[in-house]
Amino acid sequence: MDKQTQETLERVMQRILAKLVDGNCKKCGKKIKYIPNESDELCEVCSEKEKELKMRLARIDYIIPLGYKEMTFDNFKLENRNVKNLDMALEAAKRFVIDNTGVYLWGQAGQGKTHLLIAALRECILQGKCVKLLRYSTELKNYKEQGLRKEDFFKEYSTCDYLFIDDFGSVGTKDDAIDILYGILQRRIENGKGKKVFITANMPIMQIGDDRVKSRISGMCIGYKCHHSSDTDTERYTNIIELKGDDIRLTGRV
């Protein structure tokens, strides 16, 4: 660095230092120096956390479709809802974010399946997890129209930590739809990510028609709860849940 450049940098630093004032981080209260109206009143740690949060919120905007952005656990209503197993589905969706057990929610339209899937997806993004959303009917149509290889499709959805598959079954159980789902699930098992899948569908697993797919979905949805902090005192449960009741879009109880 030549002398002139060094002197210029020193003058810039002096001007910056002259603007600094004492204060406290508005997040944690730690004593800091900052420039009023030019920098956030945040310490270095809180500033990095703020940047990370903004990045995660940007990912939510990118990944979650516009019409689904307001779907959260906080605004998912249980009261005045005539839907069987809704509380179980909510618990399973929340548990999915923190443990290693898959979820399969099925039932007719308007039961709240997609809302719970999107709410869990949002929480995973906010926690910094690697996620993918597969809107089955839409992406399957795009895959066919674009002439993609099945292997490319498998690769796209087999490496993320948490996979969310919405509306499986809306395209029926044709060979292509089943083969693609099997390929994705199998590769996730091979990658050690087999259970971290959240699926919504309009049919029970037994109607899928392919024993390989039924077996893999059933296996990923079985979990064990520990009681009294003992590894030996466990309870087996399954996250294959039917939602059955009034269509919330028709009743207005969204």
pLDDT tens digit sequence for 157-173: 888 999 999 988 765 55
- Every domain of the chain and the residues it spans: 15-63, 67-251
In this prediction, residues 72-96 reach a mean pLDDT of 85
Encode pLDDT of 21-40 as tens digits: 677 776 677 776 666 655 66
pLDDT value for 168: 86
Mean pLDDT across the chain: 80
**3-state DSSP of the chain:** CCHHHHHHHHHHHHHHHHHCEEEECCCCCCEEEECCCCCCCCCHHHHHHHHHHHHHHHHHHHHCCHHHCCCCCCCCCCCCCCEECHHHHHHHHHHHHHCCCCEEEECCCCCCHHHHHHHHHHHHHHCCCCEEEEEHHHHHHHHHHCCCCHHHHHHHHHCCCEEEEEEECCCCCCHHHHHHHHHHHHHHHHCCCCCCEEEEECCCHHHCCCHHHHHHHHHHCEEEEEECCEEEEEEEEECEEECEECCHHHHCCC
Mean pLDDT of 134-156: 77
Task: Tell me: pLDDT of 178 over 60.
Answer: yes
CATH of segment(s) 67-251 = 3.40.50.300
For residue 230, is pLDDT > 70? no
What's this model's pTM, rounded to 2 decimal places?
A: 0.78
